[in-house]
Amino acid sequence: MPKREETDRPRIVLVEDDSDFRTIMARWLAPRYDVVSCADGEELFDELAVAKPDLIVLDIDLPGPNGFVLCRRLRSLSCYTSIPILFVTGSDRIQDYLETLKLGGDSFINKPVERPHLLREIRSLLQAAFA
């Protein structure tokens, strides 16, 4: 795979199986960030082989490995322990929220997502990561 061109903009990888929602989020983020969209965990790890992201957005309910499994796997690899992980999910179960924190997720937003909330949360996570 060819190496991605480096830019000064933060790179965000979205992992969301709903193609419409993935497209909407990518459009919201594209004016400020380099955005890579993935439909599942396999695509995520293909992307990670090309370039390291500055932030990862994960859904919980994904085909194949779910967001919990992906988060656990990312946090087990030393090169990804400091990358913020934001869960954006339709789950409103408190157990899922607690599990994301236990696994090393940095933040959690319930769907439906409002654009300003998503942008604020991402900006906050990136500021903390680069502080």
Express each pLDDT in 65-109 by its tens digit. 999 999 999 999 999 999 999 999 988 889 999 999 999 999 999
Fold classification of 11-130 is: Rossmann fold (3.40.50)
Express each pLDDT in 2-51 by its tens digit. 344 567 899 999 999 999 999 999 999 999 999 999 999 999 999 998 98
Q: Helix crossing, 67-76 with 41-50: angle to 10°?
A: 30
For residue 92, the model assigns a pLDDT of 85
Task: Report the Cα 57 to chain-centroid distance in Å.
Answer: 1
17 in Cβ contact with 59 (< 8 Å): yes
| Domain locations along the chain | 11-130
| The three-state (H, E, C) secondary structure of 40-109, written as one string | CHHHHHHHHHHCCCCEEEECCCCCCCCHHHHHHHHHHCHHHCCCCEEEEECCCCHHHHHHHHHHCCCEEE
For residue 131, the model assigns a pLDDT of 79
